[in-house]
A and B are shown apart, each in its own frame.
Chain A
Amino acid sequence: MQQIISLLMENKPGALMRVTGVLTQRGYNIESLTVAHTVDPTLSRMTITVDVDAGVRAQVIKQMNRLINVLQATDVTDGPAANRELVLLRVRSGGLHRTAILDQAKKFHARVLDSTSEGFLLEATGDPKQLDQLVAIMSDYGRVEATRSGIVSMSLERKKLRLSAPVARRPAQTVARPGAEMSAPYEMQETE
């Protein structure tokens, strides 16, 4: 089944690989993935669409939440969430159907980014299924080429973000002798 995962994570090298690793380790194919920094440039928001076995949906989310760079991973498949996608669509109709193409584009609130005698370059955003329709319709008028952004998602519910507070690094002690009694290495920080 198709699962949509929304992640808030630290904007650090390697963080993307850690997240996708949870999926690729299982041999799952990522359908789409978008990532960009948030209002806070040290954080990124990522949306992944992936084909998973229904039984491991929750497990995948837990394993992502376990990653140190991930602040929050949420399953937004069953919403409520706004899921949007952007498509850049080149339609080459060889100069034919120009009015019809523009008419249809208007219906989908698509913008014309470039116009040549060959055809148009259109930009549209919307629900991914709507964009599928747009691409299908335009295919009737000529050869099309599409670049899609993949889904970007934002949950309509505000999920409480639980973050760990800073912890004091324990002060240096005298080096314990081998086999000497050990102490708990750190004060654990409660985050539940």
Chain B
Amino acid sequence: MTSAGSSQFNLGSQSKRLPGAKILLECLAHEDVECVFGYPGGATLPLYDALYDHSIRHILVRHEQNAAFAAQGYARATGRVGVCCATSGPGATNLVTGLVDAMMDSIPIVAVTGQVPTKLIGSDAFQEADTFGITRSATKHNFLVKHVNQLPQAIHEAFYIAASGRPGPVLVDVAKDVFLEEAHYTPVTEIHLPGYKVFSSGHAGQVKRAAQMIWDAERPFVYAGGGIIAANASEELRAFVELIDAPAVCTLMGLGALPAEHPNFISLPGMHGSYAANMGMSHTDLIIALGVRFDDRVTGRLSSFAPHAKVIHVDIDPAEIGKNRRADLPIVGDVKHVLPKLTADVRHLAPAMKAHRAEARNAWWKQIREWKREHPLEPQISETEIKPQHLVAEIDRLSRGRAIVSSDVGQHQMWAAQFIRFNEPRLWINSGGLGSMGFGLPAAIGAQFACPEKLVFALVGDGGFQMSIPELATIANHALPIKIIVMNNGCLGMVRQWQQLFYKNRLCQVELNSFPDVEKLAGAYGFKGRTVEAVEELNRVMEEAVAEPGPYLLNVKVSCHENVYPMVPAGGAINEMVLGPPQPVEA
């Protein structure tokens, strides 16, 4: 498979013998890897020894789970493959949550793990775990490398698989002796995976039929998701939406795919989507689904979802089509390729069709605007306390649609998705599918390394923050100017919300007492921190945080009784939203 090629690493035309650890680093360099998030250990000692004099940057995190999250933050912010590294046994098992998280959100990362020496595999050796078996269902694909000759091919295949098609995490488990074994290294020039099918172009006839369906629809509705971001197809989406002039929603994973300030953009749909988004979805006669998977948090009760709609479903993964909702017109392909074709076909039909549905389309827009007016998505602001929505609106004010916001999981995540405008893709970084608490802080680290010039907020709750609190050391270590905003309501807000609404207000294990003094906490790490409680101080303190050249830990005490609305109760139809808290009855 391999053949000698030109190399920038002074290998010359003749290959030379290198130990596996160095070969691995050469492979990473060939993949343009600029940094690796990791944590060393026994099985990766030879690798870290080789790293000692290699130009690849290694970022030492404080827990392997956060290495995977940071690699994701890097990948989500750039579209490039994020790389993380851990040792055998506990190192590898600690990666698993981050891998599954990347799997659920289709994020390209490559994880390299050490394994006990080949001879000891299967002997319950010290720090041995069946990483290959454990991560089988946590990855898009994984490799166990037991011979140095297999190493280059495995690494390059891993990067190719992670980044192509529907992206995802790939793990390469390398036995310790493979790092030490020497072999002739020649760069891999070709990848051959006969069973790995990447569908990209989309069937031309289907695309043509889709264009006709779009013109035939009276109430078309664009439902765009993470696939648009993954494919870097925001421009194509925008051109398409503007041509057909349909209202559009972006899912939690797709926020920023269409600029939030675009006149056709409504909001996110689903469980905490806006009234207009969910009513639109429920009344449309044509859903144009682009890079989405009809997730249960979007559809609510599937049998009542969009009952009047035909569905055009474009997705790169054939297994997504028809999985939850039958597609009347499936198109298997990359939205980056399919959308321009679809736009061209729609434009081609425009002269003959434009007047066709003009009246119905006007009425549809009028209806959408009316829904928007009836129940607008607006943050509540109080004069006496900091409402959590107010805090999120402050981040929006300072971001102006251009900052990276890396969110944790819970109420703050939903409010951020509702109220922060993202005018570009890859600004909104959050754990959508898996909903992993502890994600926000390490992902912000990855994003800040990827985009050192960008303003990065880590918006976290007081629960999730404490799950990844050790990463404050990593932030201090590299003086990363991340603005850590803790939305502190003293409890696990989202769990409490469900206990209040669906478990008769029997609040169980949701109070978070003993939150540390952040001034002391951040001070202990050598950077600034403060707590703000008074609503009149909020905007000034937020500005101070943003102006600070280094890291800033801001603990914002918000009113503790707020819940996220609108809300579609689990298993409910999305047009059966609860729009706000129960109002007190007047005496």
Chain A interface (Cβ < 8 Å from any Cβ of B): 9-10, 13-14, 17-18, 21, 25, 58-59, 62-63, 65-72, 162-169, 171-176, 178-179, 182, 184-186, 188-192
- Tell whether, in the assembled complex, residue A18 and residue B136 are in contact, meaning their CB atoms are under 8 Å apart: yes
- Tell whether, in the assembled complex, residue B5 and residue A171 are in contact, meaning their CB atoms are under 8 Å apart: yes
Which of B164, B201, B450, B453 makes the CB contact (< 8 A) with A192? Answer: B201
A179 to B446 alpha-carbon distance, docked (Å) = 12
- Given A67-B195, A69-B195, A191-B197, CB of A172 within 8 Å of CB of B30: yes
- Given A17-B133, A59-B323, A182-B80, CB of A191 within 8 Å of CB of B190: no
20 A–B contact pairs at CB < 8 A? A21-B136, A25-B137, A59-B319, A59-B323, A63-B319, A65-B197, A67-B195, A68-B161, A70-B195, A163-B195, A168-B191, A171-B6, A172-B7, A176-B32, A179-B451, A182-B232, A184-B232, A186-B160, A190-B200, A192-B203
Q: Interface 1/0s, chain B 193-228, versus A by CB < 8 A?
A: 111111111010000000000000000000000000
Chain A residues with Cβ below 8 Å from B188 are: 169
Closest Cβ neighbor of B29 among chain A residues: A172
Q: In the A-B complex, list the 4 residue pairs whose CB atoms are closest, starting with the nearest.
A: A166-B192, A62-B319, A185-B163, A163-B194
Chain A residues with Cβ below 8 Å from B531 are: none
Chain A residues with Cβ below 8 Å from B30 are: 169, 172
Which of A9, A59, A164, A192 makes the CB contact (< 8 A) with B193? Answer: A164
- Tell whether, in the assembled complex, residue B136 and residue A14 are in contact, meaning their CB atoms are under 8 Å apart: yes
Chain A residues with Cβ below 8 Å from B165 are: 188
- Given A14-B136, A65-B197, A185-B163, CB of A169 within 8 Å of CB of B450: no
Chain B interface (Cβ < 8 Å from any Cβ of A): 5-8, 29-32, 34, 78-81, 132-133, 136-137, 140-142, 144, 156, 159-161, 163-165, 187-201, 203, 232, 317-319, 322-323, 332, 334, 449-454
A65 to B332 alpha-carbon distance, docked (Å) = 14
Closest Cβ neighbor of B189 among chain A residues: A169
Chain B residues with Cβ below 8 Å from A189 are: 198
Chain A residues with Cβ below 8 Å from B317 are: 66
Chain B residues with Cβ below 8 Å from A59 are: 319, 322-323
- Tell whether, in the assembled complex, residue A9 and residue B137 are in contact, meaning their CB atoms are under 8 Å apart: no
- Given A176-B34, A178-B449, A179-B452, CB of A192 within 8 Å of CB of B199: yes
Chain B residues with Cβ below 8 Å from A179 are: 78, 450-454
Chain B residues with Cβ below 8 Å from A188 are: 164-165, 198, 200, 334
Closest Cβ neighbor of B202 among chain A residues: A192
- Tell whether, in the assembled complex, residue A164 and residue B190 are in contact, meaning their CB atoms are under 8 Å apart: no
Chain B residues with Cβ below 8 Å from A17 are: 133, 136
- Tell whether, in the assembled complex, residue B332 and residue A192 are in contact, meaning their CB atoms are under 8 Å apart: yes
A69 to B195 alpha-carbon distance, docked (Å) = 6
A166 to B3 alpha-carbon distance, docked (Å) = 14
Chain A residues with Cβ below 8 Å from B450 are: 178-179
A172 to B33 alpha-carbon distance, docked (Å) = 10
- Given A14-B136, A17-B133, A185-B81, CB of A172 within 8 Å of CB of B195: no
**Main SS class of interface, B:** loop
Q: How far is the CB of B479 from chain A (nearest CB, A)?
A: 15
Q: How far is the CB of A80 from chain B (nearest CB, A)?
A: 24
Of the candidates A167, A178, A179, A191, the one having the most CB atoms from chain B within 10 angstroms of its own CB is A178
- Given A166-B192, A179-B453, CB of A62 within 8 Å of CB of B318: yes
**Main SS class of interface, A:** loop
A116 to B319 alpha-carbon distance, docked (Å) = 54
A167 to B156 alpha-carbon distance, docked (Å) = 12
Closest Cβ neighbor of B196 among chain A residues: A68
Closest Cβ neighbor of A10 among chain B residues: B195
A66 to B316 alpha-carbon distance, docked (Å) = 11
A39 to B197 alpha-carbon distance, docked (Å) = 23
- Tell whether, in the assembled complex, residue A166 and residue B191 are in contact, meaning their CB atoms are under 8 Å apart: yes
- Given A59-B323, A192-B203, CB of A14 within 8 Å of CB of B144: yes
A69 to B553 alpha-carbon distance, docked (Å) = 47
Which of A21, A168, A174 makes the CB contact (< 8 A) with B137? Answer: A21
Chain A residues with Cβ below 8 Å from B192 are: 164-167
Q: How far is the CB of A70 from chain B (nearest CB, A)?
A: 5
- Tell whether, in the assembled complex, residue B198 and residue A68 are in contact, meaning their CB atoms are under 8 Å apart: no
Chain B residues with Cβ below 8 Å from A182 are: 78-80, 232
Of the candidates A18, A71, A179, the one having the most CB atoms from chain B within 10 angstroms of its own CB is A179
User: Apart from A166-B190, A172-B32, what are 13 other A-B pairs with CB-CB below 8 Å?
Assistant: A9-B195, A62-B318, A68-B141, A164-B192, A169-B188, A169-B190, A172-B30, A174-B8, A178-B452, A179-B78, A179-B452, A182-B80, A192-B203
Q: How far is the CB of B206 from chain A (nearest CB, A)?
A: 11
A179 to B332 alpha-carbon distance, docked (Å) = 31
Q: How far is the CB of A45 from chain B (nearest CB, A)?
A: 13
Chain A residues with Cβ below 8 Å from B31 are: 172
Closest Cβ neighbor of B56 among chain A residues: A175
Which of A10, A13, A164 makes the CB contact (< 8 A) with B197? Answer: A164
Chain B residues with Cβ below 8 Å from A14 are: 132, 136, 142, 144
Closest Cβ neighbor of A17 among chain B residues: B136
Chain B residues with Cβ below 8 Å from A66 are: 317-319
A172 to B159 alpha-carbon distance, docked (Å) = 13
- Tell whether, in the assembled complex, residue B199 and residue A191 are in contact, meaning their CB atoms are under 8 Å apart: yes
A66 to B141 alpha-carbon distance, docked (Å) = 10
A176 to B323 alpha-carbon distance, docked (Å) = 38
A176 to B188 alpha-carbon distance, docked (Å) = 20
- Tell whether, in the assembled complex, residue B164 and residue A186 are in contact, meaning their CB atoms are under 8 Å apart: yes
A67 to B334 alpha-carbon distance, docked (Å) = 18
- Tell whether, in the assembled complex, residue B78 and residue A191 are in contact, meaning their CB atoms are under 8 Å apart: no
Q: How far is the CB of A13 from chain B (nearest CB, A)?
A: 7
Chain A residues with Cβ below 8 Å from B201 are: 190, 192
Q: How far is the CB of B403 from chain A (nearest CB, A)?
A: 14
Chain A residues with Cβ below 8 Å from B319 are: 59, 62-63, 65-66
- Tell whether, in the assembled complex, residue B5 and residue A167 are in contact, meaning their CB atoms are under 8 Å apart: no
A191 to B347 alpha-carbon distance, docked (Å) = 28
Chain A residues with Cβ below 8 Å from B198 are: 164, 188-191
Chain A residues with Cβ below 8 Å from B196 are: 68, 164
Which of A62, A165, A175 makes the CB contact (< 8 A) with B32? Answer: A175
A190 to B318 alpha-carbon distance, docked (Å) = 14
- Given A14-B136, A70-B195, A182-B80, CB of A65 within 8 Å of CB of B190: no
- Tell whether, in the assembled complex, residue A58 and residue B194 are in contact, meaning their CB atoms are under 8 Å apart: no
Chain B residues with Cβ below 8 Å from A68 are: 140-141, 161, 193, 195-196
Closest Cβ neighbor of A24 among chain B residues: B137
Chain B residues with Cβ below 8 Å from A71 are: 194-195
A63 to B196 alpha-carbon distance, docked (Å) = 12
Chain B residues with Cβ below 8 Å from A165 are: 192
- Tell whether, in the assembled complex, residue A168 and residue B194 are in contact, meaning their CB atoms are under 8 Å apart: no
